[in-house]
Amino acid sequence: MIAPRVILVEDDVELRSMVMRGLREEGFDVEGVGTGRDLLARIAARPASALVVDIGLPDADGRDVCLALRAQGVSAPVIFLTARDALPDRLSGFSSGGDDYLTKPFALAELVARLHALVRRGGPELVLDVGPLRIDPAAHTASVGDTTAALTPTEFRLLAALAARPGEAVRRRTLTQAGWPHGAIVHENTLDAYVARLRRKLRALPGAPEIATVHRVGYALR
């Protein structure tokens, strides 16, 4: 069995060393870097199964680094590490393409559990077709013909949950459970932000179904 590859981005050398050692003991293939610039170089050289990114990096905000990765088509799940637990900080992390977050100080066991959940949770094993739209769980993409849109793991899980019941209203709670690991703090605005991102990506695919709002219930792929 191939060990999941994780890149840890943390400028605190002592904390980075401790977390890397703990993750290796749990069976992860871990590489640690201290800056956003180093992360971009490492991910370009070799893909990762997941990223653990400190928001307060010396050369950039970790959320901006995540946005840059998403713009490059990198879909590996991202867990943010942050010393800030205010609601706007959490929402901005999700909106920038993050999949989960941990507030410092954190227990290594919790980070391990969240990493395993994100790495293992890939949605359905088969390609989903909804009309002309094809959703590929292996590539984490949505496509119509030759036009393809890359999806983050959370975007993929949400779209797969909608595609599994085409035309039907899927409740917000069901989508939240499909999109985020158990125990993640997910607010209504977070789900709405991800749906808005999915809508933009689907609009770029000619003939793709749209995500409709079902008032007081949730969303439907029609």
* CA–CA distances in Å: residue 129 to residues 75, 110, 112, 162, 198: 21, 36, 33, 12, 16
Length in residues, the chain: 222
The pLDDT of residue 203 is above 90: yes
If 0-12 CB within 10 Å is exposed, 13-18 middle and 19+ buried, where does residue 11 land? middle
The pLDDT of residue 3 is above 90: no
Mean pLDDT of the chain: 87
At 13 the pLDDT is 96
Query: Who's near 214: CB < 8 A, 6+ residues apart?
Result: 169, 220
What is the pLDDT confidence band of residue 36, given thresholds at 50, 70 and 90? very high
The pLDDT tens digits of the residues spanning 75-119 come to 889 999 988 766 666 666 777 788 888 999 999 999 999 998 888
CA distance linking residue 174 with residue 157, whole number of Å = 11
The pLDDT of residue 1 is above 90: no
CATH (one of 3.10.20.340, 3.40.50.2300, 3.90.1150.10, 3.90.320.10) for 5-120: 3.40.50.2300
Question: Are the C-beta atoms of residues 78 and 66 closer than 8 Å to each other?
Answer: yes
User: What are the extents of the domains in the chain?
Assistant: 5-120, 128-221
CA distance linking residue 124 with residue 135, whole number of Å = 10
* CA–CA distances in Å: residue 116 to residues 31, 73, 103: 17, 22, 18
Percentage of residues in the chain with pLDDT exceeding 70? 89
CA distance linking residue 207 with residue 190, whole number of Å = 27
At 124 the pLDDT is 39
CA distance linking residue 106 with residue 149, whole number of Å = 35
DSSP state at residue 56: B
What dotted CATH number matches 128-221?
A: 1.10.10.10
What is the pLDDT confidence band of residue 8, given thresholds at 50, 70 and 90? very high
Query: Who's near 173: CB < 8 A, 6+ residues apart?
Result: 218
- Looking at per-residue pLDDT, the higher value among 129 and 5 belongs to 5
Report the pLDDT averaged over residues 115-124: 69
- This prediction has a pTM of 0.58
- Looking at per-residue pLDDT, the higher value among 17 and 136 belongs to 17
Question: Are the C-beta atoms of residues 119 and 128 closer than 8 Å to each other?
Answer: no
Query: Who's near 141: CB < 8 A, 6+ residues apart?
Result: 135, 148, 149, 150, 151
